[in-house]
Amino acid sequence: MSSISDVQIDHDDHHHAPPKGLMRWVLTTNHKDIGSMYLWFSFAMFLTGGAMAMVIRAELFQPGLQFVEPNFFNQMTTVHGLIMVFGAVMPAFTGLANWLIPMMIGAPDMALPRMNNWSFWILPFAFAILLASLFMEGGGPNFGWTFYAPLSTTYAPDSVALFVFSVHIMGISSIMGAINVIVTIMNMRAPGMTYMKLPLFVWTWLITAFLLIAVMPVLAGVVTMVLTDKFFGTSFFDAAGGGDPVLFQHIFWFFGHPEVYIMILPSFGIISAIVPAFSRKKLFGYASMVYATASIAGLSFIVWAHHMFTTGMPVQAELFFMYCTMLISVPTGVKVFNWVATMWRGAISFETPMLFALAFIVLFTIGGFSGLMLAITPVDFQYHDTYFVVAHFHYVLVSGAIFSIMAACYFWLPKWTGKMYDEGLAKLHFWCSLISVNVLFFPMHFLGLGGMPRRIPDYALQFADVNAIVSLGGFAFGLSQLIFLAVVIKCIRSGEPATAKPWEGAEGLEWDLLPAKAPYHSFSTPPEVK
């Protein structure tokens, strides 16, 4: 009898041996593993979406049709947008949340580790489906990342079905990630860590997670309505059947506007960690930062129709959406003021994370100002659907969200890898990115003011010179990101060992919430919270 139980014990031991090789990554429930996978995946998607942007800028380098067919050009603008929003920016922030939130609140891991694994592993399949749609007969989605009806219903290729399925999977992943963040923050804080002692990165993610849970089902609803309009004979968005194409825009932007804040709120948390560290000062106005973040999130639900000023809504509604949109600039201005006040008379040093954070503050503010211009209804009638809008949201998303993600990677890389990156190479990456991103996006404001429409493969002769400059900036910015890849790989493979406090002199800051030494599984003991 004993021999049977011995066999049983042996079998159990064998069963619980940690998986090796690839299976370790497939089965892992460790928040750091999952955070790393999110970050690498988002970087791969960033390069993929960037390659599509290169196709767009190559076509627009000169007037006339050179490289690609107009239909393929439209597929590139569509899939570029979808990949950058859902495949690059959002998974990168989720990866940062996975890595940092448990450490910052003194938790051993995320609250729901199995669900964490699943929410990551469905993403590669979602994007494989989206990219596969490009190879279908009739081509991939060609209706813009906002997929307005009837372009996405009556006139869409059959691959719209794959697109809808792919968006559903991304949405499921986002909702699971958001639930995990909320449960972790609410239930797993170290003893004594009240809400108003949370690091701001944790706060911004808590608020972002509630936004995700609120708006992702709206996106799921609208893509399902698109699907049934296209394949099942419904008429939600078809006027001939009693529907309304403008209804699509209302539902889409009710998701889409909070979505753009989902892509920037975690940035605010990152910048609020980095600026104090390199200013050697506590963050100025912690409580006002928390309230400002919550205000932005709340206001984001009542401004959606500023994307729709030209659809012919009543003047009363236009005024309402105009004033609400202008109101959002107030809490945003509070944040910028607090960052500047934090740096005021601080002992600032300009390491790479701080350079990216400073660039974020300046360039994000430019994006905010052009957004304020777009908020003004009569003015928006002129700007709407021109390159001015493209310039505006790329300033917010590229020199905003993406720069903050890079700042975060440089800031926490020593903690993640135990090694120091090459500061000289990193600074080269920063300056190449900073210069090229402005050559790429700043002239677009003038193209838009001159009347050049968005999403066109060809344009009038008077825009030729500026487009050539923009395209050169685009190629330069794309190539600059390969330096970033080199910095990270070099750091992992041959970086100098990092000290316990890589950014010396940053006392009393987020670093103190991380233990001094960070071996692989060392975060089960919560650090003392003062």
Report the pLDDT value the prediction gives residue 450, as an integer from 0 to 100: 97
**Catalytic site positions:** 80, 109, 145, 173-174, 257, 259, 261, 272, 306-307, 332, 335, 454
Q: Could you write out the DSSP letters of every residue in 131-189?
A: HHGGGSTT-S--STTTT-TTTTTTT--TTHHHHHHHHHHHHHHHHHHHHHHHHHHHH-P
CA 229 to chain centre: 30
Domains of the chain, with CATH numbers?
Answer: 30-512 (1.20.210.10)
Report the pLDDT value the prediction gives residue 15, as an integer from 0 to 100: 55
Give the residue from 148, 104, 142, 112 showing the smallest Cα distance to 29: 112
DSSP 8-class letter at 197: G
Measured CA angle at 265 (ends 262, 269), to 5 deg:
145
pLDDT mean over 344-358: 96
| CA–CA separation, 528 and 530 (whole Å) | 6
SS3 274: helix
Which pTM does this prediction carry? 0.92
Report the pLDDT value the prediction gives residue 503, as an integer from 0 to 100: 86
Q: Within 10 Å of residue 195's Cβ, how many Cβ atoms? A: 12
Flag whether pLDDT at 312 surpasses 70.
yes
Output the average pLDDT for the chain.
93
Question: What confidence tens digit (pLDDT) does each residue in 145-161 have?
Answer: 999 999 999 999 999 99
DSSP 8-class letter at 63: S
Flag whether pLDDT at 527 surpasses 50.
no
Report the pLDDT value the prediction gives residue 343, as an integer from 0 to 100: 97
pLDDT mean over 190-207: 97
Q: Could you write out the DSSP letters of every residue in 432-469?
A: HHHHHHHHHHHHHHHHHHTTPBSS-S---GGGHHHHHH
Confidence of residue 283 (pLDDT cuts 50, 70, 90): very high
pLDDT mean over 331-342: 98
Q: Per DSSP, what are the bridge partners of residue 497?
A: 419
Flag whether pLDDT at 94 surpasses 80.
yes
Flag whether pLDDT at 52 surpasses 70.
yes
Report the pLDDT value the prediction gives residue 335, as an integer from 0 to 100: 98
Question: What confidence tens digit (pLDDT) does each residue in 421-469 have?
Answer: 999 999 999 999 999 999 999 999 999 999 999 999 999 999 999 999 9
Give the residue from 114, 125, 109 showing the smallest Cα distance to 41: 125
The rounded percent of the chain whose pLDDT value lies above 90 is 90
| CA–CA separation, 399 and 356 (whole Å) | 9
